[in-house]
């Protein structure tokens, strides 16, 4: 994710004063710090079980193997991409029991980017949202739950984020014209898609990557994530509807009442353009069907149906290679359905992949942290220290502490993919020490990361969307903070129930 803000026209705006460095810089600094720590922290190892997971109580110290601080720090992201660890080129099989570098994840992300680029180029998603807006003219109060549910669906399936920026002008314009304010329109989009990401079910950029690094299936823990998605989205709809109703009855209660006339004048010129985007053709409908079929196919491919006692559906045990090929296939299908020329298809696919190139690079750099820790044999020492600290905690206390730890980590590393790559290889093994299922750690990570990404000032989605809607960042924080507390409680309650049920 980028870390720029934008002015009201959407152009980047220079920041003044102190600002956090980018996720790339933070992660590389972290690699160097970890390399230094390999000279300080004693090396150690656990005995591993048949699945390659550490066996509690078997930690023992081994010979120190400190990193070459400069050389190994530079090599770490490259070794992490290939799944190679150690100066001798040895392959790591830690935790998941199989080779799992970052190159397959990075390639998967690039292809997903191409898939989204081709789909967005057809205009099908934009037209679908536009048609909903057009159909609900005069009934804008109903637009809030319907559109927020649609954006949540986008967030939970494909991690809808930057794609949502295209809808701010349309929806804010319509809501202002209906007697609401710009904050209502911005909240519908930002909270709708954001809560969808917080409650990710099959989001490939969060749940899929985290599950892979945690050595668990994306289908494990799905019920809990669906509960968080549904209850969280309902809470968001209630919060926005409550505010919108108050503003509609009395415009002076708007948090941006002072800018009301200026916003009406600013967005008035865009009303006709907004209405024109609602032309949903038969081609758009077919493309949308293929788009969602791609995610249904992924679900069918990755879920171990036989383990669930379901034998009518064959179990394929898909991993990243198969999923990557599947999304590549559906990209081509959508290109054909939209009757794209070869040039338009390839340029759309490459442009979409280019948009997510930064995410792919973050994963490689983040994986480098684990490489340095494993090469220096301090990973198990860190795990042992955590095991001792958490030894007397019950599962409920453990999972809520994990949730709390992921909150500040998400401020430092707002990229969901980058945080999953850094944290899961370390946090997931801790689950076995507290008799907590690893899928609960995945859910704790994604809900905490999703919560923070609703307000983090380093997110182009937050800052860019608010800038387009002309909503000050401070006003947004004032509006959304109570809802964040509600969403945090929902997440922690569901996590606690999961641990109790699976104990």
Buried b (16+ CB within 10 A) or exposed e, 438-458: bbbbbbbbbbbbbbbbbbbbb
Tokens at 122, concatenated: 């057809």
Burial of 490 (0-12, 13-18, 19+ CB in 10 A): buried
Q: Which residues pair with 43 in a beta bridge?
A: none
- Residue 502, Cα to own-chain centre: how many angstroms? 25
Buried b (16+ CB within 10 A) or exposed e, 109-135: bbbbbbbbbbbbbbbbbbbbbbbbbbe
Find the angle CA(349)-CA(337)-CA(107) to the nearest 5 degrees: 30
CA distance 343 to 424: 40
Tokens at 453, concatenated: 């990404």
CA distance 204 to 2: 19
Find the angle CA(207)-CA(213)-CA(217) to the nearest 5 degrees: 55
CA distance 33 to 217: 32
Question: What pLDDT does 97 receive?
Answer: 33
Question: What pLDDT does 18 receive?
Answer: 54
Q: CA distances (Å), 497 to each of 227, 231, 333, 400, in order?
A: 11, 15, 42, 11
CA distance 151 to 107: 26
- Is residue 299 within 8 Å of residue 327, measured between CB atoms? no
- Is residue 294 within 8 Å of residue 330, measured between CB atoms? yes
Beta strand 60-61 with 12-13 is unpaired
**Half-sphere exposure of residue 354, counting CA atoms within 13 Å on the CB side?**
6
DSSP assignment of 374-435: HHTT-HHHHHHHHHHHHTT--HHHHHHHHHHHHHHHHHH---HHHHHHHHHHHHHHHHHHTT
Look at residue 359 and give its three-state secondary structure: helix
Residue 5 phi/psi, 5-degree rounding, is -105, 180
- Quick one: which H or E segment has residue 271? helix 271-276
Question: What pLDDT does 108 receive?
Answer: 83
Tokens at 41, concatenated: 């922290």
CA distance 472 to 474: 5
Burial of 185 (0-12, 13-18, 19+ CB in 10 A): buried
CA distance 446 to 226: 13
Please provide the distance, in angstroms rounded to a whole number, between the alpha carbons at the two ends of the chain. 37
Question: What pLDDT does 10 receive?
Answer: 40
Buried b (16+ CB within 10 A) or exposed e, 56-91: beebeeeeeebbebeebbebbbebbbbbbbeeeeee
Question: What pLDDT does 503 receive?
Answer: 66
Per residue, what are the HEC states of 117-185? HHHHHHCHHHHHHHHHHHHCCCCHHHHHHHHHHHHHHHHHHHCCCHHHHHHHHHHHHHHHHCCCCHHHH
- Residue 257, Cα to own-chain centre: how many angstroms? 33
- Is residue 315 within 8 Å of residue 305, measured between CB atoms? yes
- Is residue 12 within 8 Å of residue 32, measured between CB atoms? no
Beta strand 44-45 with 60-61 is antiparallel
Residue pLDDT tens, the chain, 503 long: 333 333 433 444 444 555 657 778 878 888 899 899 999 989 888 887 766 667 777 888 888 888 888 888 888 888 877 765 444 444 343 333 333 557 887 888 889 889 988 998 998 887 887 777 777 776 777 889 998 998 998 888 878 777 777 678 778 888 887 888 999 999 999 999 999 999 988 887 788 888 887 878 777 888 999 999 999 999 999 999 999 999 989 999 999 888 888 888 877 644 444 444 557 888 999 999 998 898 888 878 876 677 556 778 787 777 778 888 999 999 999 999 999 999 999 999 999 898 878 778 877 787 788 788 888 888 788 777 777 777 677 889 889 998 998 888 787 777 787 788 777 877 888 787 778 888 999 999 999 999 999 998 767 788 888 888 889 988 999 999 999 999 999 999 999 999 998 76
């Amino acid at each position: 994710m980028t870390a720029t803000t934008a002015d009201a026209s959407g152009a980047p705006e220079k920041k003044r004063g102190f600002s956090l460095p980018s996720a790339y810089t933070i992660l590389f600094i972290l690699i160097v710090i970890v390399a230094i720590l390999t000279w300080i922290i004693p090396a150690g190892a656990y005995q591993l079980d048949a699945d390659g997971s550490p066996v509690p109580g078997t930690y023992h110290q081994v010979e120190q193997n400190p990193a070459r601080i400069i050389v190994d720090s530079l090599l770490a992201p490259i070794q992490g991409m290939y799944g190679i660890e150690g100066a001798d080129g040895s392959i790591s099989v830690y935790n998941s029991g199989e080779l799992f570098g970052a190159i397959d994840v990075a390639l998967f992300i690039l292809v997903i980017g191409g898939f989204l680029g081709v789909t967005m180029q057809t205009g099908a998603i934009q037209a679908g949202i536009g048609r909903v807006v057009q159909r609900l003219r005069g009934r804008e109060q109903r637009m809030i739950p319907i559109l927020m549910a649609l954006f949540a669906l986008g967030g939970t399936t494909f991690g809808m984020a930057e794609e949502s920026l295209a809808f701010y002008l349309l929806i804010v314009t319509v809501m202002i014209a209906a007697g609401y304010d710009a904050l209502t329109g911005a909240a519908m989009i930002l909270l709708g898609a954001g809560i969808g990401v917080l409650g990710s079910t099959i989001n490939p950029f969060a749940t899929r990557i985290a599950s892979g690094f945690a050595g668990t299936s994306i289908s494990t823990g799905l019920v809990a994530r669906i509960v968080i998605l549904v209850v969280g989205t309902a809470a968001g709809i209630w919060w926005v509807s409550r505010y919108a109703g108050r503003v509609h009855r009395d415009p002076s209660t708007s948090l941006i009442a002072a800018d009301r006339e200026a916003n009406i004048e600013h967005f008035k010129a865009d009303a006709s353009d907004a209405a024109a985007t609602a032309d949903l053709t038969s081609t758009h409908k077919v493309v949308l069907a293929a788009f969602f079929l791609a995610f249904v196919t992924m679900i069918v491919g990755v879920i171990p149906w036989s383990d669930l006692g379901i034998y009518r559906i064959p179990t394929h045990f898909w991993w990243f290679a198969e999923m990557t090929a599947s999304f590549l296939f559906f990209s081509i299908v959508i290109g054909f359905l939209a009757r794209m020329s070869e040039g338009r298809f390839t340029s759309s696919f490459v442009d979409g992949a280019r948009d997510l190139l930064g995410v792919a690079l973050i994963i490689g750099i983040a994986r480098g942290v684990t490489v340095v820790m494993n090469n220096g044999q301090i990973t198990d020492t860190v795990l042992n220290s955590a095991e001792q600290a958490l030894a007397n905690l019950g599962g409920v206390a453990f999972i809520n502490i994990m949730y709390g730890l992921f909150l500040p980590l998400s401020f430092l590393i707002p990229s969901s993919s980058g945080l999953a790559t850094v944290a899961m290889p370390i946090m997931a093994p801790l689950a076995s020490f507290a008799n907590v299922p690893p899928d609960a750690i995945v859910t704790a990570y994604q809900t905490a990361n999703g919560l923070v990404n609703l307000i983090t000032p380093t997110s182009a989605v937050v800052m860019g969307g608010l800038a387009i809607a002309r909503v000050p960042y401070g006003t947004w924080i004032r509006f959304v903070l109570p809802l964040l507390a509600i969403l945090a409680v929902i997440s922690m309650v569901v996590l606690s129930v999961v641990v109790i049920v699976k104990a």
